[in-house]
Structure 1
Amino acid sequence: MAGHFRGTSSQVGKAFPNSPQFSGFMKPCRFEGDLKFLEVEGDLPEELDGTFYRVMPDPQFVPFIENDPWFNGDGNISAFRFSKGNVHLQQKYVRTEKFLKERDAQRALGGKYRNKYTDAVEFKVRTTANTNIFYFNNVLLAIKEDAPPFAMDPITLDTIGLCDFNGQLPSLTFTAHPKLDPVSRELVCFGYEAKGDGTPDVCYYNIDSDGKFTEVVWLVAPVVGMIHDFAVTENWWFKAPNAFPGHTTNAYETSEGQIVFDLPLTDKNVFFWWPDANGNAPSPHDIQAKYVRFTLDPRASDLDLPTPEVILERDMEFPRIDDRVSMKRHHHSFFDMMDPELGTDFAAIAPVLGGGHPLYNSLGHLNHQTGQLEVYFPGKTHMVQEPVFVPRSDTAPEGDGFLMALVNNYRTMSSELHILDTRNFSTARAIVKLNIRLRAGLHGNWVDAKEFTSH
């Protein structure tokens, strides 16, 4: 039962296990600090004035759980600050209850992923805050969907504390993928297992730009299951059959009253380390997500979803759009892709890849009007992480701007930030050299510098 440590000092090692999720490029980083004036190759766009925030699961202590999944690590925030033609890196852990108690005990205390009954001590709020980092109402929200977010100072990265929105948060949980309405500036959110572990309750809520809750709706899901991401249109909210959609691109309403919903979709269990009730689990090499489009008639009598149209026959994930058109018709999207035919030298990088995390070797840009696909391939010994899009200016056309993504360079065993100009997508405009290694992250977002001075 919780409260009893499940290991002795002889059982809990000082070194991380030599398993794939803790070795090679996936060896925990555990770095906090500042790196000023990062080395830049190429032409850094002068329009970039702001900060790219991203978060990675990064355990500060060796786990006492055997074969612990890689994303069970503590949330470690990276901030790439662009200013006056320079890039600076700042990195700091989220000071969650778990992080602070483990630092005081000088050992791991948290147990299995999403299983509080395996912990060495009891936590009031168990989260690692390691899935997304989102700027809203003057603070950063470090989010994992099993708890409320932790608020952080966007300039210092100091942890302010658990955020319940001044007592307004009705749910025990908060989505890892809140959606910001670009017109009203409302934040649209939800929490699943909203009344506690194993509960079917889903709580949906809107938060205005000043942090006031304007709408709260309680729903009951037909089954208790993970609801990681969602999409929002002006008027609707839908439920779908059980599937593994991963992440969403965007949804919008047409002038004919239909709903268009784009997303990567796979029929296999992406969390392959959790087999089904019969012990079946797919091989990670067999898991691929196609890019699909659902077109829905919200007034149809048939409640079954139609078969989606495949809009791109590529293994892809982590789609992003120009957030200025969120919840409206989008004409461009950007994403990670895996294309073995591009020439990745898998034999050379296999010994240092690490494992447990998805692998993508290129970035894609799909023009949804013409169907044209542009591809950026960073090199034969590189893999890409989730991209973010930055508009060239407030008035630039949709999709005109810059795409940036953290890239793993397995030849140098260090991380790089690649910056692409969408006007010449296939070639990097600038490569920021970190000369340190940051393991696989989950999600991140760009915050323009004017956001820090507009309040």
Structure 2
Amino acid sequence: MSLLHNRFGLKPNPSQAFPKLPQFSAFMKPCRFEGEVRDLEVEGTIPPEIHGTFFRVMPDPAYPPYVDDDGWFNGDGAVSAFEIKDGRVQFKQRYVRTEKFVAERKAHKMLTGKYRNKYTDLVELQVRTTANTNIFPYKDFLLAIKEDAHPYAMDAKTLETIGLYDFEGQLPSTTFTAHPKVDAKTGEMLCFGYEAKGDGTPDVCYYTIDSEGKFTQSVWMTAPVVGLMHDFAFTDNYVIFPIIPQLCDIERLKEGGSHWEWDGNCPLYIGVLPRYGAKGTDVKWFEYKTSFPGHTANAYEDDSGNILLDMPLSMSNVFFWWPDAQGVSPDPRTIKSDLVRFTINPAAEDLQLAQPEVLIDHDVEFPRIDDRWGGKKHRHCFFDHMDPSLGTDFAAIGPAMGGGYPPYNSLGHLDLETRKLDVYFPGSTHMCQEPVFIPTTDKEGEGYLLALVNNYRTMMSELHLVSTADFSKPAAVINLPMRLRAGLHGNWVDGQDLQLDFD
């Protein structure tokens, strides 16, 4: 690997300071911490049945960028692990040793350019990924994932990077979803890759992996547009692929442009493919008016064979930092995503979707369910929730927030049978990151939510543990002696499956 001439005039940043931009300032200033802290301070009581580890990952650039106004999504993957056992909490954090990270640490500076644009780099890398979007348990290790490449395997106890992982040579595509799904009933892991034959390609590859790690099928499809396919859903008989109208153009990349650009004329496409025994030509691409599908909550089939798909939906470009071709993007304060339910007849000849049912007319994102109910009818849905009337002191915390995704000042729990909404409000100077659900009984939705919470008064991070039976107060607040910037996704691993090496 050698330094290359960058034809766009971009050079390594000689400064050791991060730009004074919102995405690198205040609470979003890069943390750059590796290490461990034992016996975190706990306010309240952690129930003894809570035994396991919460893994999460955040984009956290190790070096200042050399491109102008670099986006916050472009940080190196930093994985956090919080082990909870016997009412105590231990914390570890390590960077994923990607090819990019290792090269830049050796050079003591950033060598890669714009988000998912290899043409702006100063070095040529075989695998450019930052592995910064999800950290997912698989067998007895972890997969650090960004959907532009294969995942990196990490030791689940030490957080040491094992290396790039291709499932023992079975992975058919060049990319791997940041949101693999596990069917609790069958033990299968369902996955896909988009831009599966390289940047700017419309190819999508869906595959299933049995509980022993063997690939049982691979189905190649062609998407109607080269769009952002961040999340998907499954039922007993189908897999469902929403496409966000953020589109990629390879010629734009070659000219040094952004990987993604919002297209206000592109419909929302939702692909429906039979889960088993399908060919690529069996996929149906249903259409709805231009809108932004958020992370999927769940999908299942009703008694009539219809697919019911629950997810947040916005009529605005939620990823406002990637504007349209005219440079226009919405004011983040105006963005709102309702939790909706699409009803899709997979046998329909008419591929135009009807107006979805609004399950809750509130601004929500990062939905989670009790994962044991994935693919079947669920009653409980948890999510990040924004309600300005709750009492957040926006004037006080605004200067401390920095730039990132739209903020959420509370956690929500929606009972889909009664439509009752419970809201947990952590405080007037707090914002919530993605929650994870921790089951404590065999009954759906009985357990706890655990979420990393930003405290903008102390400029420290906290973990809030909330019982799903009582959203009025936290069961415990776990204080970190540091600040962890906005993360993307994480997962809970039960202590029977894994114990960290803190001895």
What TM-score bracket applies, with the shorter chain setting the length?
A: over 0.9
Paired with 1:390 and 1:205, the residues of 2 have a C-alpha distance of 28
CA shift at 1:374, angstroms? 0.1
Aligned to 1:4: 5
Question: What is the letter of the counterpart of residue 393 of structure 2?
Answer: D
Aligned to 1:110: 112
2:327 matches 1:247? no
Paired with 1:440 and 1:220, the residues of 2 have a C-alpha distance of 34
Counting only pairs closer than 5 Å after superposition, residues 195-214 of structure 1 correspond to structure 2 as 195-214=197-216
Kept in 1, the 8 Å contact 2:10–2:67? The answer is: no
Q: Residue 457 of structure 2: which of 400, 404, 411 is its match? A: 411
Other structure's SS at 2:228 match: coil
Aligned to 2:147: 145
Kept in 1, the 8 Å contact 2:52–2:498? The answer is: no
Aligned to 2:243: none
User: Structure 1 stretches of 5 or more lacking a match?
Assistant: none
What's the Cα RMSD here?
A: 1.4
Paired with 1:118 and 1:246, the residues of 2 have a C-alpha distance of 29
Counting only pairs closer than 5 Å after superposition, residues 18-417 of structure 1 correspond to structure 2 as 18-237=20-239, 238=272, 239-241=285-287, 243-393=291-441, 395=442, 397-417=443-463
Q: Which moved more, 1:100-109 or 1:240-249?
A: 240-249
Other structure's SS at 2:163 match: strand
CA shift digits 1:302-338 (9 cap, x unpaired): 2211110111010010000000101010000000011
CA shift at 1:7, angstroms? 4.9
Paired with 1:279 and 1:354, the residues of 2 have a C-alpha distance of 22
Structure 1 segments of 4+ aligned residues over 6 angstroms from their partners: none
Paired with 1:304 and 1:24, the residues of 2 have a C-alpha distance of 45
Aligned to 1:439: 485
Paired with 1:344 and 1:452, the residues of 2 have a C-alpha distance of 38
Paired with 1:185 and 1:152, the residues of 2 have a C-alpha distance of 21
Aligned to 2:259: none
TM-score by length of 1: 0.97
Paired with 2:339 and 2:3, the residues of 1 have a C-alpha distance of 43
Aligned to 1:448: 494
Paired with 1:90 and 1:12, the residues of 2 have a C-alpha distance of 31
CA shift at 1:209, angstroms? 1.4
Paired with 2:449 and 2:11, the residues of 1 have a C-alpha distance of 48
Kept in 1, the 8 Å contact 2:133–2:146? The answer is: yes
CA shift digits 1:211-263 (9 cap, x unpaired): 11001000001111110001111112313436421200000011221211100
Other structure's SS at 1:168 match: coil
Kept in 2, the 8 Å contact 1:272–1:281? The answer is: yes
CA shift digits 1:383-404 (9 cap, x unpaired): 00000001013x2x10000000
Identity %: 62
Question: What is the letter of the counterpart of residue 4 of structure 1?
Answer: H
CA shift digits 1:93-115 (9 cap, x unpaired): 00000000000001001110011
Question: What is the letter of the counterpart of residue 81 of structure 1?
Answer: E
Paired with 1:414 and 1:4, the residues of 2 have a C-alpha distance of 41
CA shift at 1:3, angstroms? 2.1
CA shift digits 1:182-213 (9 cap, x unpaired): 01111100000000000000000001112110
Aligned to 1:16: 18
Other structure's SS at 2:464 match: strand
Question: What is the letter of the counterpart of residue 380 of structure 2?
Answer: H
Kept in 2, the 8 Å contact 1:2–1:116? The answer is: no
Other structure's SS at 1:452 match: coil
User: Structure 2 stretches of 5 or more lacking a match?
Assistant: 240-271, 273-284
Paired with 1:278 and 1:357, the residues of 2 have a C-alpha distance of 22
Q: Which moved more, 1:275-284 or 1:353-362?
A: 275-284
Other structure's SS at 1:424 match: coil
Paired with 1:444 and 1:76, the residues of 2 have a C-alpha distance of 12
Q: Structure 1 pair 196/7, CA: closer, same or farther in 2 (3 Å)?
A: closer
Paired with 2:319 and 2:31, the residues of 1 have a C-alpha distance of 23
Kept in 1, the 8 Å contact 2:45–2:87? The answer is: no
Alignment length (residue pairs):
450
Aligned to 2:244: none
Other structure's SS at 1:423 match: coil
CA shift at 1:299, angstroms? 2.1
Paired with 1:256 and 1:274, the residues of 2 have a C-alpha distance of 40
Paired with 1:22 and 1:286, the residues of 2 have a C-alpha distance of 23
Paired with 2:464 and 2:498, the residues of 1 have a C-alpha distance of 24
Paired with 1:403 and 1:350, the residues of 2 have a C-alpha distance of 26
CA shift at 1:8, angstroms? 5.2
